[in-house]
Every structure is written in C-alpha cells, then in structure tokens.
C-alpha cells in the first residue's frame, strides 16, 4: 500500500505594518488586525506595531536597532499586511521591501483614505489592495488572505 504523505501546514508568519511616526490614530485598528490574524492561525512577528506602549519601548532602542530588528522580522515573514489609511514612510518602505522579496503583500485601507499611487497604481502581481468599511469586513478579508498562504 502506498504511504500517504501528510503535508502539515505551518502557521504563516506575518509582518503587520502600520503607521508609527506617521501618526498613531488607527492604533485600535492595528490591535484589531493583530487579534484577527492570531485568531486566524497566523503568527504576527511585528506585534510591536499594535502595542500601545510602543513609543516607550522603542525609545530605549537606537534608530538602527529598530531598522535592523524590523528588516530581520521581514526576512522571516511569509507575507506582509499593511494598513495604509494613515500615510507612513516606514509602511511604504516595508511594502517595497516585501515586494522585493516576492512575498504576498495585502494593503488595506478605509474607503475615504487618500492612498498613494505608488500603492494603488502598482501592477506587481504579489500586491493586493482592498478597502474595508467595518471590523467585520476587515476580519473577513484577513481570514480569507491567511487561508491562501
């Protein structure tokens, strides 16, 4: 009898990207995304993005320590999910680096957001941009995305 190979699916490692110095007004949304991702079976490597005490913790780090840590986490990630409603240099940079790595990138934003053409007009096949109007819709998009990984 032929032996059946069982392919075990590992929890996908996700880099959650959200504005920090660009403004923390959507912190509650980042926290919701973190919870939705973990609940969907993902491991969020950049959990600090959703940490309300981030400023205090990061202030003990040098700029290069922050950069090195984040690039290290991105290198280990299977996909990147970015909330792009609040414009942020760091989020744009991380999206670009993730696309360079050819990992799937999902950008999410509120319907009324003014999102850069560098995201909306980017034809890279690894990039998907979607809008959400409430938490239920956001959760649905996240669960569906995780299932594709």
Contact between 17 and ligand 5HU per CB under 6 A: yes
Question: Which is nearer to ligand 5HU, 76 or 147 (by Cβ)?
Answer: 76
Secondary structure element (H or E) that encloses residue 16, with its range = strand 13-17
Give which of 72, 114, 65 is closest to 97, Cα–Cα.
Answer: 72
Contact (Cβ atoms closer than 8 angstroms) between residue 24 and residue 58? no
Size of the site for ligand 5HU (CB under 6 A): 16
Cα–Cα distance measured from residue 47 to residue 124, given in angstroms and rounded to the nearest whole number: 26
Position among 12, 33, 34, 94 found at the interface with ligand 5HU (CB under 6 A) = 94
Which token pair is 35? 């919870």
Position among 20, 36, 42, 98 found at the interface with ligand 5HU (CB under 6 A) = 20
Q: Is 71 annotated as a binding residue?
A: no
Contact (Cβ atoms closer than 8 angstroms) between residue 108 and residue 82? yes
Contact between 91 and ligand 5HU per CB under 6 A: yes
Contact (Cβ atoms closer than 8 angstroms) between residue 15 and residue 98? yes
Question: Which is nearer to ligand 5HU, 71 or 147 (by Cβ)?
Answer: 71
Binding-site sequence positions: 15-21, 30, 94, 116-118
Positions touching ligand 5HU (CB under 6 A) are 17-22, 48-49, 58, 66, 70, 88-91, 94
Binding-site sequence positions for substrate: 15-21, 30, 94, 116-118
């Amino acid at each position: 009898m032929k032996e059946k190979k069982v392919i075990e699916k590992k929890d996908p490692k996700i880099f959650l990207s959200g504005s920090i110095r660009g403004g923390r007004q959507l912190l509650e949304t980042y926290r919701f995304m973190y919870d939705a991702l973990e609940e969907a079976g993902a491991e969020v490597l950049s959990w600090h993005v959703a940490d309300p005490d981030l400023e205090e913790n990061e202030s003990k780090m040098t700029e290069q320590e922050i950069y090195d840590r984040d690039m290290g986490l991105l290198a280990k990630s299977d996909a990147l999910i970015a909330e792009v409603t609040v414009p942020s240099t760091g989020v744009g940079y991380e999206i670009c680096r993730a696309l360079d790595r050819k990992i799937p990138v999902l950008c999410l934003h509120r319907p009324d957001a003014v999102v850069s053409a560098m995201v909306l007009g980017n034809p890279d096949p690894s990039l998907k941009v979607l809008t959400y109007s409430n938490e239920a819709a956001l959760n649905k998009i996240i669960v569906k995305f995780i299932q594709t990984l």
